[in-house]
Chain A
Amino acid sequence: MEILTENKILSILASVTDPEIPVLTITDLGIVRDIKFDEIEECWEISITPTYSGCPAMDMISTQIRMTLFSNGISNFRIKQQLSPAWTTDWMSDSGKEKLKKYGIAPPNNPDFGIPDSPAACPNCGSSNTSLLSEFGSTACKSLYKCEDCLEPFDYFKCH
């Protein structure tokens, strides 16, 4: 039988996707914060952090982690919610950002948090001639923009 390691578990978790943005995995998003083995209880402790406080995807993600680990024959684990340090889009992987762009969502691009009307480049044509339509979009993590060149509306994943 293969010996379980943190890396093995991490690679299994890398197949769990965000229910609202299915091109991103929870490891792309930086949601998995820690994996460690509790020797006393002989149990893996997986720490995950919420993105937005009220994000309805979080409960779904916990369920999917459970299902995925069970289906890989792992049952001695518990999931712990960790709030600190607070999640930030800085933890999103570069490959995650690339996948978002291909999916039609402009990735977070501004290191200075809180300036969502700074132009996000259009994921369709690359133009930076864009304007903000709405600070709040279809999910907590996104704003809605419009490209003034190709005229397509698009979502922008807000810096957080």
Chain B
Amino acid sequence: MQDHFHTYLLHLADNALVLGHRNSEWCGHGPILEQDIALTNISLDLIGQARYFYQYAAQRKGAGVTEDSLAYLRNGNEFFNFLLLELPDDDWGFTILRQYVFSQFQHLLYQQLQNSTDQQVVAIAAKALKETAYHVRWSREWVIRLGNGTEESHNRILRSWEKIKDYTGEFFIPAPYETELINSGMAIDPGCIREQWVMEVSSVFEGATIPFHGSAWTQSGGKQGMHTEHLGYILAEMQFMQRAYPGLEW
């Protein structure tokens, strides 16, 4: 029998890990020191959240599964993160806008997960929610600043939205493994937070003078393990040491 709840925990963890990894690429490259630090702090939070979900998944599985084996020894088609989060960084505007749309989603999701029938999911979501509130706040202010900044910053954030918008639909479509969990109350239906997400994002866009237009069509597949070529490069970098030197510690 397939363990859908295990896959769901991996989905929640992989989202946080993959974006945490992408953001960590900015370490030492941020436009100014304070923002470099902000983004790496957000990475730490995300990787910490991923660890809680991996630890829980590993504890449920037993049989030698650990948080490290889940992070370092799975192949690309066993990762269940959103496609948006694995896309390479383009510029600061892209990084900021991706962070904002995802943090806004995550904030609503973690709020809803307080109603899960699984107590550990409730505990992790409650913990993560507090940090995510800071991520939303920080990225939102940057979206507004870039949108209202120079012609250059405005155009770049517009260009970023053109790339990002086709990937946000995936947030709200339940994967087959979620449907059953939604019915039993362990997971929440991501479709039910779409309306509020659109409301929040469009109001921030209005403040940033960026036209908000959604897309009826969406890229999808990440939640089911079908990825872009970019995830492979992330995993190659992240997993190399454990693959080459199994069990290495430092």
* A58 to chain B: closest residue by CB: B48
Which residues of chain B are near A69, meaning CB under 8 Å? none
How many chain B residues touch A (CB < 8 A): the figure is 30
Q: Identify B37's interface contact among A53, A136, A160, CB under 8 A.
A: A136
- Type the 1/0 row for B19-57, where 1 means its CB is closer than 8 Å to any CB of A: 000000000000000110110011111111101100000
Q: Tell me the residues in window 116-158 of chain A with beta carbons closer than 8 Å to chain B beta carbons.
A: 116, 133-138, 140, 144, 158
Which residues of chain B are near A137, meaning CB under 8 Å? 37
Partner-contacting stretch, out of A17-25, A30-38, A83-91, A94-102 = A83-91
Say whether A114 contacts B133, CB under 8 Å: yes
Q: Identify B137's interface contact among A52, A87, A135, CB under 8 A.
A: A135
* A134 to chain B: closest residue by CB: B34
A158 to B47, CA, bound (A): 20
Say whether A160 contacts B123, CB under 8 Å: no
User: Does chain B have a CB within 8 A of A104?
Assistant: no
Which residues of chain A are near B34, meaning CB under 8 Å? 133-134, 136, 144
* B49 to chain A: closest residue by CB: A53
Which residues of chain A are near B45, meaning CB under 8 Å? 52-54, 140
CB distance from A136 to the nearest CB of B (A): 4
The dominant DSSP class at the A interface is loop
Say whether A54 contacts B52, CB under 8 Å: no
- Category for how many chain A residues contact B: 20 to 34
Q: Identify A83's interface contact among B127, B133, B138, CB under 8 A.
A: B127
Q: A83-B52, A83-B123 are in contact. Are A113 and B130 (CB under 8 A)?
A: yes
Q: Tell me the residues in window 85-125 of chain B with beta carbons closer than 8 Å to chain A beta carbons.
A: 119-120, 122-124
Say whether A53 contacts B38, CB under 8 Å: no
Say whether B48 contacts A54, CB under 8 Å: yes
Which residues of chain B are near A144, meaning CB under 8 Å? 34
User: Does chain A have a CB within 8 A of B68?
Assistant: no
User: Does chain A have a CB within 8 A of B131?
Assistant: yes
Which residues of chain A are near B217, meaning CB under 8 Å? none
A82 to B119, CA, bound (A): 12
Say whether A135 contacts B123, CB under 8 Å: no
Q: Which residues of B line the A interface, CB within 8 A?
A: 34-35, 37-38, 41-49, 51-52, 119-120, 122-124, 126-131, 133-134, 137-138
Given A114-B134, A134-B35, 9 new contacts (CB under 8 A): A52-B48, A53-B52, A83-B126, A84-B126, A86-B127, A113-B130, A114-B137, A135-B38, A140-B45
12 residue pairs from A and B, CB less than 8 Å apart: A53-B45, A53-B48, A54-B51, A83-B124, A84-B122, A114-B137, A134-B38, A136-B34, A136-B138, A140-B41, A144-B34, A160-B130
